[in-house]
Amino acid sequence: RWPCGNKSVRVGYNPGYQRGAKLAPHLGFSQGWFDGYDWVIRMNPDVFIYDERKLFSLMGDPGNWAVFAHCGNNTCMDNIGCAGRINTDFFAVRPEYVRKDAFADWKKDFPVAEDQAVFAFRNIV
């Protein structure tokens, strides 16, 4: 059941692995797709939530504007270290706290989407 009754599928151009990961949130936030929603959850298809209680607890706290996963000190698939980055395989964010143009720089030369996420969510973290 969809509480808002709004079901939309958007299909468009994929400019590639990293740029596509950066373009999608740009389109969603800049074009108002998430307006009126309490939360936006972005998840890769290979991300699984086995126990949602902690996530729902964090999302239930009105003082939390986002739930991010730290990329860790491991090495990403691109062999560029991930330390200090927001993991873009999963994030949950209250769209009211994300600027419409937060991801407008998706074409910039951020090496990976995680770098752009740190910049885009800088007012939250």
pLDDT tens per residue, the chain (125 residues)? 566 677 778 888 888 888 888 899 999 999 999 998 999 999 988 999 999 999 999 999 999 999 998 776 554 444 444 556 888 899 999 999 999 999 998 888 777 888 889 889 999 98
**DSSP 8-class letter at 97:** G
Angle at 32 between CA 26 and CA 33, to 5 degrees: 85
Q: What is the DSSP string of 45-96?
A: TT---S--HHHHHHHH-TT--EEEEE--SSB-TTSSB-TTPEEEEEEEE-GG
The dihedral over CA atoms of 77, 17, 117, 44, expressed in degrees to the nearest 10, equals: -80
CA distance 60 to 58: 5
User: Residue 119 corresponds to which tokens in the numbers above?
Assistant: 């910049």
